[in-house]
Amino acid sequence: MDRGLYIAASGMLTEMVRQDQIANELANSSTPGYKADRTAQRGFGELLLSNSRNGSVVGPLGLGVEIDETRTDLSPGPIHDTGKALDLAIEGEGFFAVRTPAGVRYTRNGQFTASAAGLLTDSLGNQVLGPGGAPVRLRGDGSLSAADVGVFAVNGARKSGDSLFTGTAAGAGSGQVRAGALEESATDPARSMVDMIASFRALEANQKAIQTIDETLGQFAGQVGAVS
């Protein structure tokens, strides 16, 4: 089969991954503490073409692209005041820890609430942990001290959902808890829309390349079949 089909198809596959990533960013543009992903592409390889008659070099032919790596930008985002006592933000490096059914997970989303038992929980009902790893209990009047909430350094943080991360705790984080505030999403909707359009154009170009190659192969097949 024509090599151009594989090259164009590889471009479409990588752009589809990029489209999903950008769509996820747009969906979480208002999610506190959300961290954006960045996907890098690289060439799959090159084939050196040469003249079959005299052996002279024609030049390289790329064999398509593939996803090189996907990484999450963990840089701290801007913080804005909300005035809500149970909203917390981390100024600097570190993560909140929550206890989920799958084990301890880490997050920068400090949009917390109180459970019926008087414990601090996230929006999914997971218990927020203190510096010693125990659940954070609110005071009798429902108030909270920022010092009661743990900030953890995490090695090898990897996304496990949109707001949660897995990783290995490495002691206390250097950041400080700020009450009555939330860290904003690290996405830029305007930039994401521009990236979405650029990705769609690249996807469309690869699709047209496949269509053109398919039509050309169809013409060749028709001409060969018409030879007496």
Q: What is the dihedral of CA 118, 120, 124, 127, to 10 degrees?
A: -100
DSSP-derived secondary structure for 7-20: HHHHHHHHHHHHHH
Q: Report pLDDT digits (tens) over 21-64.
A: 899 899 998 899 999 888 877 777 666 667 777 877 777 766 77
Q: What's the CA gap between 219 and 224, in Å, rounded?
A: 9
Which pLDDT score, from 0 to 100, does residue 61 have?
67
Instruction: Estimate the crossing angle of helix 189-226 against helix 3-27, to 10 degrees.
Output: 160
Q: Report pLDDT digits (tens) over 158-203.
A: 998 778 999 998 889 889 999 999 999 988 889 889 989 998 998 8
Of residues 211 and 91, more confidently modeled: 91
Whether the pLDDT of residue 3 is over 80: the answer is no
Residue 25: phi, psi to the nearest 5? -65, -45
Which pLDDT score, from 0 to 100, does residue 184 have?
94
Q: How confident is the model at residue 228 (pLDDT cuts 50, 70, 90)?
A: low
Looking at the DSSP assignment, which residues form a beta bridge with residue 164? 107
